[in-house]
Structure 1
Amino acid sequence: MDPLAPLIDALHAQGRLRVWSLVVTVMGDAVQPRGGRIAAARLQDLLGRIGVEPGALRTALSRLVADGWLIRERNGRTSHYRLSEQGQAEYGPAAEAIYAAPKAEPECWTIALGDDVGGISLGGGLWLVAGNVPAEAALAVSGALKVGAGMRETLCHPDRLAALERLAADLDVLDAARLGPQDAIAARTMLIHRWRRIVLRHGDLPDAVLPARLTGLRSRVGAAYHALLSASEHWLETGDAPLPAADTGLADRFAVNPVA
């Protein structure tokens, strides 16, 4: 049985795959730390393992070049792609959120009244905010937080809840120890792609307001990422059109205590 089948099936089960977004994930996660440039054929080798057809990849690359995200460089008959300055400017701040270390649970929570205060909407202009009183609040009360099991389901927006459930399911079936280099880079790409979309669309929620089955996901993602790292990096630096050596920052991703 294909060890990646559950992950691939889950990725494609959400509707038509946005290949251009998957390319951005690969460029930011795996290519940028290795000099920032990848051959089109090499990219197809990776994404083909995930079920992306060559025509779909060509269309996505053309779109990203036209939109200013990627730059195409020709070397004879070979095309290489790299993030443009615009693409790097967009992905850089996103990477800080994607690869941040797990945060300590807030000691203080605030229920605030106001317009678009931020945090978790409780309805009627009330917001639940992790931390102290936000400046935008017209009225606020701060203190410790206790959330019952039923309320945790209510606080998590259905779209966010569904996205977290899908991520948890992927982590449940992922067995990094069984994967060779190509499968490892494919699994890493799918994992970070799903996580990237969650973080950028929904942000992080502290464990205190998540259902118990969904707590600690950032730590689980980080552990899975590092379990895949060695084999996936081996695929990138070997074979046809290998990428240059990676910078030293990969070990610091998701790390609570980054290496100095």
Structure 2
Amino acid sequence: MDSTAFEAAVSDLRGEIPPRVWSLLVTVFGDLAQDGSALPGTVLGEIMSRVGIKPEAMRVALHRLRKDGWIASERAGRSSLYRLTPEGRAQTVAASPRIYATDPPAEAAFLVLTDPASPLEWTRNDVWVTPHAVLTAHPPAGAEAFATPVDPDRSLPRWMRDKTCDAMTVALSADLAARLTRTEAALATAGAPDPLQTAALRVLIVHSWRRIVLKVPELPDFVLPAAWAGPACRAGTARLLQRLPAPGLDRLSAAA
């Protein structure tokens, strides 16, 4: 892939909001070394430089991730190797089904009315639409709550749907859907990217979707706001990752 086309694709995928470097590195490890494999510092540096991250910023971010227990490092001759810690890997594995899913996180939703005198346990994926009514994909058992299924062919009131996802996240989803479409079109006319270009593009695609989807409750798309572009983002991400299969660490090391 020629440098002009690659740089244009990177610029478009990065968007107007610069990514947090430490978070971008988490995406690198999650996408390329989720199994606990070690990434050489030279490979990390080459990938990050291709997405516009300076070496100093990468070093600061790596220090933060080591301090926070996300990654561990070791010397290998004159260079360093980095890998996810067991805790970092556990959190990465836990988030992966949401990020790489090709289907919605749930097929059904229920509106549950609760008894204020008998509080039930709920999770972050349940959305309270009134003080005593919650939208959930998993209604509680027992007689202390009344659950009614939400009909996917009959839209909920807008005020309910708007409570499931904040307006900024909804806007970001629409923006990402457009950027993914442009990236697909650009790749259709460009030459094949080399391993480091492929890794860089994958990281930006996964990271862009990750920073949106992990903010959204695990509910069916039909109860989210009408402007939610999650289905288009999910499908576009899947198509692009299929088009850009992750290069093995041996190929990345040889290219670096």
TM range (shorter): 0.7 to 0.9
Aligned 8 A contact 2:198 2:244 in 1: yes
- Return closer, same or farther for 1:203/1:44 CA change in 2, 3 Å cut-off: farther
Give 5+ residue unaligned stretches, structure 2: none
Residue 126 (structure 2) aligns with: 119
User: Aligned partners of 1:20 and 1:161: how far apart in 2?
Assistant: 24
> Deviations for 1:121-176, whole angstroms, at most 9, x for unmatched residues?
32333222235x32599542413421169568624321331332232132121124
Identity across the alignment (%): 30
Alignment map for 1:144-159 (pairs within 5 Å): 144-145=150-151, 146-147=154-155, 154-155=162-163, 156-159=165-168
> Which residue of structure 1 lines up, in the alignment, with residue 207 of structure 2?
193
What residue is the counterpart of 1:247 in the other structure? none
Cα 1:137/1:202, change in 2 over 3 Å: farther
Contact 1:188 1:225 in 2 (8 A): yes
2:72 touches 2:83 (CA, 8 Å); kept in 1?
A: yes
Structure 1 residue identity aligned to 2:203:
T
Provide the rounded CA distance (Å) in 2 between the counterparts of 1:13 and 1:194. Answer: 12
Residue 42 of structure 2 corresponds to 41
Q: Please give the root-mean-square deviation of Cα atoms over the aligned residues, in Å.
A: 3.2
CA separation of 1:136/1:93 partners in 2, compared to 1, >3 Å: closer, same or farther?
farther
Structure 1 spans left out of the alignment, 5+ residues: 244-260
Corresponding residue SS for 1:233: coil
> TM-score under structure 2 normalisation?
0.76
Where 1:36 maps in the other structure, the secondary structure is coil
Rounded to whole Å, the distance in 2 between the matches of 1:93 and 1:239 is 26
C-alpha displacement of 1:186: 1.4
3-state SS of paired residue (1:202): coil
Question: Shift of the alpha carbon at 1:8?
Answer: 3.1
Distance 2:13 2:83 in 1: 28
Which of 220, 225, 229 pairs up with 1:214?
229
SS in 2 for 1:197: helix
**In the superposition, relative to structure 1, how do residues 107 and 97 fare at CA in structure 2: closer, same or farther (>3 Å)?**
closer
Q: Secondary structure at the match of 1:51?
A: coil
Which of 220, 226, 229 is the matching residue for 2:242?
Answer: 226
Give the drift of 1:6. 5.5
Alignment coverage as a number of residue pairs: 237
Q: Secondary structure at the residue paired with 1:195?
A: helix
> Is 1:163 aligned to 2:163, yes or no?
no
In the TM superposition, residue 239 of structure 1 has moved relative to its aligned partner by 5.6
- Contact 1:20–1:61 under 8 Å retained in 2: yes
1:99 correspondence with 2:100? yes
Matched residue, 2:11: 8
SS at match of 2:57: helix
2:146 — aligned with what? 140
Counterpart Cα distance in 2 of 1:227 and 1:72: 32
**1:27 match:** 29
Residue correspondence of structure 1 range 242-257 to structure 2 within 5 A = none
The answer for the alignment partner of 2:52 in structure 1 is 51
Q: Normalized against structure 1, the TM-score is what?
A: 0.75
Label 1:108 to 1:97 Cα distance change in 2 as closer, same or farther (>3 A).
Answer: closer
Alpha-carbon distance, 1:68 to partner: 2.0
Q: Secondary structure at the match of 2:101?
A: coil
1:77-123 CA-to-partner distances (Å, cap 9, x unmatched) read 11111112222222222223322341486355324346674523323
